[in-house]
Structure 1
Amino acid sequence: MAELLRYDHINIRYGQSLVIEDVDFNLASGEILGIVGESGSGKSTLLKAGMGLLGKEGQLCRGKILYDGKDLGQCSEREMQKIRGRELGMVFQMAGSSFCPIRTLGVQMQEAVRAHKRISKAEFMDEALDLLNKFGFDKPDRILESYPFELSGGMQQRVGIVAAMLLHPRVLLADEPTSALDVSVQKQVVEQFLMIREKFGTSILLVSHNIGVIRAMADEILVLHQGKTVDYGKKDDILAQPTSEYTEKLLEAVPRFRR
């Protein structure tokens, strides 16, 4: 599979603090890479760096982030605005917080699509209803007419994924998309991501502290600890024979149940 996204030996600082050190990995077309580690290990920082959202204090001070051969660190803000959403989609930990509470979901989703391409209201409605149907929503028209607070947290999360996919990005960056959900809704979200890969061939960079979610979704795993890579490789290899003591402890911490 062709390489689509590469983090090439990058260092990231916030002020004087080095939070990511010499992290190197790549994401192929149609592949799911899971980044796992405890809170504060730098997982979300990697996604923000890819989207050019490190803020004023954040700085990519070494290495490159390459998307389809293009150095994202050398792109202007105008160029990044074109890439965000259309090429690199983002799913946040709590999608509901990214929606405006006093406007309907349909209006907000249409506005986001129109920021990247010309589309009539009728065309948007056809595309949005079709995508909501594909993702298993029973009454998609009602979803578009709803305000965010009218939906459960799990439903908001699933709608957030649909919103990110309306522009059919080639890469989807997902930041802890299941962490605030109960187990049954986590399963729905995991199935939704797997369907995205199957139907659209989308590459997914998934950040999670949940080994179970990573196990269910990822092709490859990168284990991050205090901003450094401690394990990286095929999922089956990492889970069966981790090379670092830290990864072994992570796996040992996963609850095991007996009948």
Structure 2
Amino acid sequence: MNEGNSMNHTTDTPLLSLQGLTIALPKGADRAYAVENLSYDVQRGEILCVVGESGSGKSMAANAVMGLLPKGVRPVDGKAIFADQDLLSITEKQHRELRGLRIGMIFQEPMTALNPLMRVGAQISEVFEAHGQLNGAERSIKALELLTEVGLPEPEKAIRAYPFQLSGGQRQRVMIAMALALEPELLIADEPTTALDVTTQAQILDLIIDLQKRHGMAVMFITHDFGVVAEIATRVCVMRQGKIVELGEARDVLANPQHEYTRALIEAIPSDVVPEARGAETDTPLLDVKNLNKVFRSKGGLFKPAREVRALNDVSFSLVKGETIGIVGESGSGKSTLGRCIVRLETPDSGLMSLSGTDFMTLHGESLRRERKRVQMIFQDPYASLNPRTRVGMAIAQGPIANGIPKQKALAQADDLLELVGLANTADRFPHEFSGGQRQRIGIARALALEPELIVADEAVSALDVSIQAQILELLEDLKQKFSLSLLFITHDLRVAAQICDHIIVMQHGRIVEQGPARDIFLAPQQAYTRQLLDAIPGRPEATEIAS
């Protein structure tokens, strides 16, 4: 845990005090209240981590503080006292005056929070303009200073960039710069690192800790990951289904959790204990990849030079029947491109790729369609890959129907598959009626529908709560054994890879930098980049402690 931040808050009047906050949900919701009788304080100079799974109400409470509750959701009881004002009873105009000036907020997905049509510098300047601070030239100077303070590389270029021209971590730094522009007393960070690579996540956490100390802010940090809590929290508030189940000093909650739900969340974090490698069913490769290369080229435009990105650079490996190989690396490492090439959603420029001896690279048309059913993919965002207007039973049955299975038989098989993944009697529902974890189960059922030999899982658990993540990993392992599947598991999290993979391949800039048995990679990495990925895992003890 971040020891320097463990006990530095004061016991004076809290900066923010939630007192019996109750927020009603619209009729027809799964429960009456988003949060019920919620009471906790945020002290000046502390980082309070509010922890819970999706639907726990942790973000809803923050939105109430900011005056950003969605339509139809409203506070019905309690108070939110900030600087002697009840934020639940002030006008929208008063909320606008507070937002940014005294309370800043960082959102989980900066791409949706930033204006895609405005340059970064203009968006930061707009914060000052909205509050009538500084003139035009001063705003530009201050924007550049803020981008420099949050560690954005080449801030002089970044200030002129549009959000799509920046990486996820860089966009999150822009959001932090905007949240800090007016030096607020309270910073609310809503899952700001969930979608980021472990190394970028570590950088953002370090940045928030550093800025909190330098500016003397209070921080309310919303997360579902106790690994993050171990890195930054002063105190912890654990929420479940709209209620607090545990509240206390971070070191006490982490070392001796009192509530069974808190214990379950901590236990769901992928373990540092790497399982012993399981023996493969055969030495004969199911998938054999040799010297695979893929280059993406973009045409230049009026304001944009032509670009060439070598996504895959002489990638070679073999996967035998019954084996799980993890492909690990940061965004831009080429791991997802590799997965898309293997299922032939992308066509490699050169190299060899065979499936049980069949040359999979040169297949086209009907021969490719016939062979492709042997390799199926589970995507990171199952909601985006499911048609919102198609009932899930039909979504699962579509592949078999396209391959000649009669419709009624395919639908009956879809029912069986849904039961297999723990979603019995749900075939008539639409995707929006399921949670994220349930939608991922639907994605797994759909991948199984064509009875593949190999499944490519592309960041299949990265967007899920840790407890749901653990369930999906367990389900994949069970199905792998039941159907004698081989698995190519793409992830940026070495902890997750270590739990499910027999063998790990580490990629950087399109190249394989290290590969070997999962246990060897995790406990005795040979390359500096692999060690960097391991060191960035939040809450991870030193490798020497793990090995002992």
2:178 is the alignment partner of 1:167: no
Gapped regions of structure 1 (runs ≥ 5): none
Give SS of 1:142's match.
Answer: helix
Give the Å deviation of 1:195: 1.1
Q: Which piece of structure 1 moves more, 128-137 or 243-252?
A: 128-137
Give the Å deviation of 1:94: 0.7
Which structure's relative contact order is higher, taking Cα pairs within 8 Å and 6+ residues apart?
1
Give the Å deviation of 1:137: 2.5
Residue aligning to 2:67:
52
2:20 is the alignment partner of 1:9: yes
For 1:111-126, list aligned pairs within 5 A. Answer: 111-126=126-141
| AA aligned opposite 2:15 | L
Report the RMSD for the aligned CA atoms in angstroms. Answer: 1.2
C-alpha contact (below 8 Å) 2:152/2:173 kept by paired residues: no
* 1:214-242 Cα deviation digits (max 9, x unpaired): 11111000000111100001001111111
Residue aligning to 2:291:
none
C-alpha contact (below 8 Å) 1:89/1:169 kept by paired residues: yes
2:133 is the alignment partner of 1:147: no
Give the length in aligned residue pairs. Answer: 259
2:213 is the alignment partner of 1:235: no
Give SS of 1:73's match.
Answer: coil
2:107 is the alignment partner of 1:92: yes
* 1:94-122 Cα deviation digits (max 9, x unpaired): 11211111221111211122101231122
* 1:4-47 Cα deviation digits (max 9, x unpaired): 00111111111242121111100011111001111111111011
Cα distance in structure 1, aligned partners of 2:129 and 2:55: 36
- TM-score, normalised to structure 2's length? 0.46
Cα distance in structure 2, aligned partners of 1:220 and 1:113: 32
C-alpha contact (below 8 Å) 2:151/2:173 kept by paired residues: no
Give SS of 1:145's match.
Answer: coil
Cα distance in structure 2, aligned partners of 1:55 and 1:226: 18
Cα distance in structure 2, aligned partners of 1:111 and 1:131: 13
Give SS of 2:159's match.
Answer: helix
* 1:77-135 Cα deviation digits (max 9, x unpaired): 11111011111111000112111112211112111221012311221122222222222
Cα distance in structure 2, aligned partners of 1:224 and 1:62: 18
C-alpha contact (below 8 Å) 1:4/1:28 kept by paired residues: yes
Match of 1:127 among 142, 145, 150: 142
Cα distance in structure 2, aligned partners of 1:249 and 1:118: 48
Match of 1:21 among 31, 36, 60: 36
Consecutive aligned runs of 4 or more in structure 1 exceeding 3 Å deviation: none
C-alpha contact (below 8 Å) 2:127/2:181 kept by paired residues: no
| AA aligned opposite 1:68 | A
Match of 1:43 among 58, 61, 70: 58
C-alpha contact (below 8 Å) 1:6/1:24 kept by paired residues: yes
| AA aligned opposite 2:108 | Q
2:48 is the alignment partner of 1:33: yes
Match of 1:137 among 139, 152, 156: 152
| AA aligned opposite 1:232 | L
Cα distance in structure 1, aligned partners of 2:33 and 2:39: 16
| AA aligned opposite 2:19 | D
2:210 is the alignment partner of 1:195: yes
| AA aligned opposite 2:244 | T
Cα distance in structure 1, aligned partners of 2:136 and 2:157: 16
Residue aligning to 1:61:
76
* 1:189-208 Cα deviation digits (max 9, x unpaired): 10111011111011110110
| AA aligned opposite 1:6 | S
Q: Which piece of structure 1 moves more, 117-126 or 96-105?
A: 117-126
Give SS of 1:137's match.
Answer: coil
* 1:165-213 Cα deviation digits (max 9, x unpaired): 1111110111100010010000011011101111101111011011111
Cα distance in structure 2, aligned partners of 1:69 and 1:40: 30
Cα distance in structure 2, aligned partners of 1:215 and 1:149: 32
C-alpha contact (below 8 Å) 1:96/1:160 kept by paired residues: no
Give the Å deviation of 1:138: 3.2
Give the Å deviation of 1:55: 3.1
Give SS of 1:168's match.
Answer: coil
Give the Å deviation of 1:244: 0.6
Residue aligning to 1:212:
227
C-alpha contact (below 8 Å) 1:13/1:61 kept by paired residues: yes
Gapped regions of structure 2 (runs ≥ 5): 1-9, 274-546
% identical equivalent positions: 37
C-alpha contact (below 8 Å) 1:6/1:26 kept by paired residues: yes
| AA aligned opposite 2:134 | I
Q: Which piece of structure 1 moves more, 42-51 or 97-106?
A: 97-106
